[in-house]
């Protein structure tokens, strides 16, 4: 999930596939003096190797590692290596598969899910266990899911589960940080390795929700012992364990008791370490890759491709690193958001006027040099099981937009106020350029002045949640491949019993809520799609947000890194990759 700081358009419609290999003169990998020395590698079965350090960079600081408190993509990339979920998505097919659950069953109307918990899974060794080995049980799943439904100060994802599970609402209302009730009646431990979850009503996508890394399983002992500092003491069951954190980097180390093996019987993971450092900007990240200081670059700007490859002279001098570039249609969207309760944007005519003048295709072509796909339909990308072309969008019309602004009270004598547009991005980034295009178009067509406020994710989050931001740039990377994962952003039903509104747009529409709830219950795929199409059409009509573009997942990986896979959801799994230097 890029909550955001990322990007997004209509990837499957165009199917831009940009897969190519670039083989240049390679040199041995050399680490900087700050990095620990590599241990000798050991060969496994099938030509795979144990040992080595995998390095990558983040554009945002990660200050804590705790699933329930990490709803941004930067922390999730590390949490996905430390923690595991009850179910997971296959990295290639994106289909739900067992993870910490060895199997599960769903009743006919999708109101009861029964899980068999995998035996022999050990939590990371940690002081909270007093030197004892600690194995996963159904009680750990129950504890984690109940904490995900609590109002704990460490829980930022209450709305994911609390409305669905029987008794979740009451648990949320009656629980506080000092006193946890006996539990949620809808989550029952049937025996040591069997868990049952009962829902208030049918919800066909509930198993997909359980693949979200924000629901990574953690033990009660760690939560109780570390309390307010739990984010600095992550304890999970994943392939890597927390090692250290500083202002410069976060280091994970191999989990020697990890339960999984690969298809050849090799015990996972292969790597000794995963190290994440911080990039000042995309150019510095790319240069670090060229200098062989990191192994991976995410979100490659199209206009930097030449800088990445370098000149023939550089190649002949051995200054380039042998690498490959991979691309997948991205399951993400970048959009302009409004605070629908604010006096500036409470009138839907103003929001529609903005929508009628933003030429998204020109933004992509003129401001982003063709990087991304301009959205043509609604908010949901054209993903499997959802035909976005069925959502109708009005053509651009500056004349009609000016009429709507006048009808809402804004004229030549009473101008629309100048506002700050909050953008969590670095100067010169694709996100920044997109917003420069938005600002220019609004100024030239409607005479509206917006001031771009570049900020960190945390600053952006604070401005949006406090109501200080009236308009902002945001984005979403799918947690799972489904229209509901995108449309759920606009749902304003009883996700939290004491707060009617939980979506960041403060958008309330009872018709939308009703359609969304009906779609969640619907078992017939075609009928469910029709209901989601109707939901998306409402978003287009009411305009709580304007989708601008989607883009491809474009990554660059050092050729020495083997068996690395990514997908449309930018899932990063380091458990099965290994290091093997390419032949010179």
The continuous run of DSSP H or E covering 373 comes out as strand 373-374
- 89 and 225 in a single domain? The answer is yes
- What CATH number should be reported for the domain holding residue 482? 3.10.105.10
pLDDT band at 310 (very low <50, low <70, confident <90, very high): low
**d(Cα 370, Cα 360) in Å, to the nearest integer?**
11
Within a domain: residue 556?
Answer: no
Within a domain: residue 42?
Answer: no
Furthest-apart CA atoms within the chain: distance in Å? 76
pLDDT (0 to 100) of residue 85: 97
- 349 and 472 in a single domain? The answer is yes
- 224 and 341 in a single domain? The answer is no
Domain range for 148: 84-232
Within a domain: residue 336?
Answer: yes
Domain end (from 216, 232, 248): 232
pTM score of the predicted model: 0.78
pLDDT (0 to 100) of residue 316: 42
pLDDT band at 22 (very low <50, low <70, confident <90, very high): very low
510-521 and 525-542 helices cross at what angle (nearest 10)? 160
Q: Where are the beta strands (DSSP E) in 93-199?
A: 96-98, 101-106, 112-117, 187-191, 194-198
- 347 and 200 in a single domain? The answer is no
pLDDT (0 to 100) of residue 23: 30
Cα–Cα nearest to 269, from 257, 281, 286: 257
Q: For tokens 């952006």, what's the residue? A: 460
Q: Is the pLDDT of residue 2 over 70?
A: no
- 370 and 515 in a single domain? The answer is yes
Contact 105, 222 (CB under 8 A): no
By DSSP bridging, strand 373-374 and strand 545-550 are: antiparallel
Within a domain: residue 531?
Answer: yes
Q: For tokens 């039903």, what's the residue? A: 493
- 214 and 97 in a single domain? The answer is yes
Does the N-terminal peptide bond of residue 269 adopt cis geometry, omega within 30 degrees of 0? yes
Within a domain: residue 426?
Answer: yes
- 356 and 222 in a single domain? The answer is no
Domain end (from 202, 232, 262): 232
Q: For tokens 């006193």, what's the residue? A: 179
Q: What are phi and psi of 249, to 5 degrees?
A: -165, 165
Q: Is the pLDDT of residue 290 over 60?
A: yes
Higher pLDDT: 98 or 582? It is 98
Percent of the chain past pLDDT 70, that is, above it, reads 87
Q: What are phi and psi of 415, to 5 degrees?
A: -85, 155
Structure tokens at 559: 């050729």
- 501 and 363 in a single domain? The answer is yes
Classify residue 54 by burial, with Cβ atoms within 10 Å: 0-12, 13-18, 19+: buried
Within a domain: residue 570?
Answer: no
**d(Cα 112, Cα 206) in Å, to the nearest integer?**
10
- What CATH number should be reported for the domain holding residue 94? 3.90.76.10
pLDDT tens figures, 203-212? 888 999 999 9
**d(Cα 83, Cα 231) in Å, to the nearest integer?**
13
CA angle 240, 132, 134 (to 5 degrees): 55
- 415 and 534 in a single domain? The answer is yes
pLDDT (0 to 100) of residue 371: 82
Q: Count the Cβ atoms, other than its own, within 10 Å of residue 318.
A: 12
Whole-Å CA distances, 351 to 84, 96, 407, 409? 41, 38, 12, 13
- 459 and 338 in a single domain? The answer is yes
- 362 and 227 in a single domain? The answer is no
Q: Please tell me the number of Cα atoms within 13 Å of 36 on its side-chain side.
A: 18
Q: Please tell me the number of Cα atoms within 13 Å of 371 on its side-chain side.
A: 20
Higher pLDDT: 233 or 43? It is 233
Q: How many distinct structural domains can be found in the chain?
A: 2
Cα–Cα nearest to 157, from 146, 167, 166: 146
- 382 and 516 in a single domain? The answer is yes
Q: What are phi and psi of 286, to 5 degrees?
A: -65, -40
Within a domain: residue 494?
Answer: yes
List, as one string, the DSSP characters of 435-478: HHHHHHHHHHHH---EEEEE--HHHHHHHHHHT--SEEEEEEE-
Q: For tokens 């509930």, what's the residue? A: 206
CA angle 237, 238, 241 (to 5 degrees): 95
Q: Count the Cβ atoms, other than its own, within 10 Å of residue 274.
A: 26
Structure tokens at 333: 């969207």
* Sign of the alpha-carbon torsion through 164, 169, 171, 175: positive
CA angle 538, 544, 549 (to 5 degrees): 90
pLDDT (0 to 100) of residue 20: 32
What's the chain's average pLDDT? Answer: 86
Q: Is the pLDDT of residue 71 over 80?
A: no
Q: Count the Cβ atoms, other than its own, within 10 Å of residue 218.
A: 24
pLDDT (0 to 100) of residue 327: 74
Task: State which of 156-160, 311-315, 489-493 shows the largest mean pLDDT.
Answer: 489-493
Within a domain: residue 349?
Answer: yes
Q: Is the pLDDT of residue 312 over 60?
A: no
Q: Return all residues near 16 (Cβ < 8 A) that are at least 6 apart.
A: 327, 329, 373, 552
Domain end (from 197, 232, 267): 232
Out of 29-33, 80-84, 322-326, which region has the weakest mean confidence (pLDDT)?
29-33
pLDDT tens figures, 244-283? 999 999 999 999 999 999 999 999 999 999 999 999 888 8
């Amino acid at each position: 999930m890029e909550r955001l700081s990322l990007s997004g358009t209509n990837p499957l419609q165009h199917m831009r596939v940009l897969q190519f290999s670039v083989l240049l003169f390679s040199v041995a990998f050399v680490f900087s003096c700050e990095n620990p020395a590599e241990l000798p590698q050991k060969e496994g079965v099938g030509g795979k190797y144990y040992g080595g350090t995998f390095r990558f960079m983040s554009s945002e600081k990660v200050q804590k590692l705790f699933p329930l408190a990490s709803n941004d993509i930067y922390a999730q990339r590390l949490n996905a290596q430390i923690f595991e979920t009850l179910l997971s998505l296959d990295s290639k097919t994106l289909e739900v598969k067992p993870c910490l659950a060895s199997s599960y069953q769903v009743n006919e109307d999708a109101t009861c899910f029964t899980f068999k918990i995998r035996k022999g899974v050990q939590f990371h060794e940690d002081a909270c266990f007093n030197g004892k080995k600690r194995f996963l049980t159904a009680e750990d799943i129950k504890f984690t899911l109940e904490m995900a439904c609590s109002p704990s100060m460490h829980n930022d994802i209450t709305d994911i589960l609390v409305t669905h599970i029987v008794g979740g609402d009451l648990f949320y209302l009656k629980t506080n940080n000092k006193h946890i009730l006996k539990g949620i009646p809808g989550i029952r431990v049937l025996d040591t390795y069997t868990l049952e979850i009962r829902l208030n009503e049918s919800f066909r996508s509930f198993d997909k929700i359980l693949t979200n890394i924000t629901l990574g399983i953690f033990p009660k002992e760690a939560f109780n012992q570390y309390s307010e500092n739990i984010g600095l003491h992550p304890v999970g069951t994943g392939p890597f364990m927390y090692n250290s954190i500083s202002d410069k980097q976060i280091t994970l180390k191999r989990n020697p008791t990890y339960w999984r093996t690969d298809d050849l019987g090799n015990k996972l993971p292969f790597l000794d370490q995963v190290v994440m450092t911080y990039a000042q900007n995309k150019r510095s990240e790319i240069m670090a890759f060229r200098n062989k200081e990191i192994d991976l670059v995410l979100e490659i700007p199209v206009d930097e491709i030449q800088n990445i490859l370098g000149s023939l002279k550089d190649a002949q001098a051995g200054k380039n690193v042998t690498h490959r570039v991979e691309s997948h249609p991205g399951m993400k969207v970048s959009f302009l958001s409004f605070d629908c309760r604010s006096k500036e944007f409470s009138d839907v005519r103003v929001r529609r006027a903005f929508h009628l003048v933003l030429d998204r295709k020109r933004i992509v072509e003129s401001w982003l040099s063709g990087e991304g796909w301009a959205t043509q339909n609604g908010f949901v990308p054209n993903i499997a099981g959802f035909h976005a072309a069925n959502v109708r969008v009005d053509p651009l019309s500056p004349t009609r937009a000016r009429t709507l602004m006048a009808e809402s009270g804004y004229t030549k004598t009473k101008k629309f106020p100048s506002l700050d547009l909050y953008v969590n991005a670095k100067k010169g980034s694709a996100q920044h350029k997109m917003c420069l295009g938005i600002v220019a178009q609004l100024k030239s067509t409607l005479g509206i002045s917006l001031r771009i406020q570049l900020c960190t994710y945390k600053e952006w989050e604070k401005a949006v949640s406090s109501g200080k931001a009236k308009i902002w740039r945001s984005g979403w990377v799918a947690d799972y491949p489904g229209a509901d994962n995108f449309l759920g952003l606009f749902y304003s039903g009883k996700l939290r019993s004491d707060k009617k509104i939980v979506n960041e747009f403060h958008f309330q529409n009872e018709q939308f809520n009703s359609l969304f709830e009906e779609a969640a219950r619907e078992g017939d795929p075609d009928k469910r799609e029709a209901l989601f199409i109707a939901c998306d059409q409402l978003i287009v009509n009411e305009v709580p947000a304007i989708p601008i573009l989607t883009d491809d997942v474009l990554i660059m990986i050092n050729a020495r890194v083997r068996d690395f896979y990514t997908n449309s959801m930018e899932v990063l799994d380091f458990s099965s990759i290994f290091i093997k230097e390419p032949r010179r």
